[in-house]
């Protein structure tokens, strides 16, 4: 009888040990899942487009046409953005000259979607609807406030061969109807460049 009782006792003890072991395994798995969920990364491109074109319209009218060999959209984060790491070509249209677009080229560009804010860098070249050419290293375009600006040196030329250098950057309306250069110099006819200088 003692042997029989002993065997039952051992069986129950092993069951208890097995249950305890299973409990700890389940607990550790749950903890690992919690750690995985808190460390979940969301800063990855949710959309990747090769040789893509993005068109932005306002009341059916094209305002911006954006082309790039690689477009990556990051939308699973607090400040979603679109990035073009292999360069861009952008056309922008204004009411003053709606059939002739202004043009922008750059080696890199980023668009903050919520703020409607563009940043471009790397041999940035801008040709306005009036035919003026701006060359600089970086440009910021606050589309919401219709303003473009940079602190980098800006080289400007027009159809008549006039040249202006803004050594400390510029601030301009995004249709380039008005702009201000900082610490400027150059050879130009002021009637051909509607600039206010400082």
Higher pLDDT, 191 or 160: 160
User: Which of the listed CATH numbers 2.60.450.10, 1.10.3470.10, 1.10.3720.10, 3.80.10.10 matches domain 47-197?
Assistant: 2.60.450.10
β 195-197/179-181 pair status: parallel
pLDDT of residue 17: 52
Average pLDDT, the chain: 78
The CA-atom distances, in angstroms, between 94 and each of 57, 101, 146, 192 are 12, 8, 11, 20
- Percent of the chain at pLDDT > 70 equals 72
Would you kindly state where each structural domain of the chain is located, as residue ranges?
A: 1-40, 47-197
pLDDT value of position 58: 83
Lowest mean pLDDT, pick from 1-15, 102-116, 177-191: 1-15
pLDDT of residue 44: 78
pLDDT at 22: 54
- What is the pLDDT, as a whole number, of residue 23? 53
Over 60: is that where the pLDDT of 35 sits? no
* Residue 30 pLDDT exceeds 90: no
Asked if residues 138 and 119 have their Cβ atoms less than 8 Å apart, the reply is yes
Q: What is the pLDDT of residue 24?
A: 53
188 band by pLDDT with thresholds 50, 70 and 90: low
* Count of beta carbons in the 10 Å neighbourhood of residue 122: 13
pLDDT higher than threshold 90 for residue 14: no
List the beta bridge partners of residue 52. Answer: 68
Name the least confident of 71-80, 96-105, 181-190: 181-190
């Amino acid at each position: 009888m003692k042997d029989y009782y002993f065997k039952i006792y051992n069986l129950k003890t092993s069951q208890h040990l097995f249950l305890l072991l299973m409990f700890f395994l389940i607990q550790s798995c749950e903890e690992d899942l919690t750690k995985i969920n808190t460390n979940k990364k969301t800063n990855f491109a949710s959309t990747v487009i090769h040789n893509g074109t993005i068109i932005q319209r306002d009341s059916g009218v094209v305002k911006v046409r954006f082309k790039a060999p690689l477009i990556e959209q990051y939308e699973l984060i607090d400040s979603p953005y679109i990035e073009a790491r292999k360069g861009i070509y952008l056309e922008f249209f204004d009411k003053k000259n709606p059939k002739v677009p202004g043009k922008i080229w750059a080696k890199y560009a980023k668009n903050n979607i919520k703020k409607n804010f563009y940043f471009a860098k790397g041999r940035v070249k801008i040709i306005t609807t009036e035919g003026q050419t701006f060359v600089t290293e970086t440009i910021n375009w606050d589309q919401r406030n219709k303003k473009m600006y940079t602190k980098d040196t800006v080289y400007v030329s027009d159809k008549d061969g006039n040249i202006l250098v803004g050594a400390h950057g510029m601030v301009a309306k995004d249709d380039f109807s008005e702009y201000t250069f900082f610490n400027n110099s150059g050879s130009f006819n002021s009637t051909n460049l509607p600039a206010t200088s400082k």
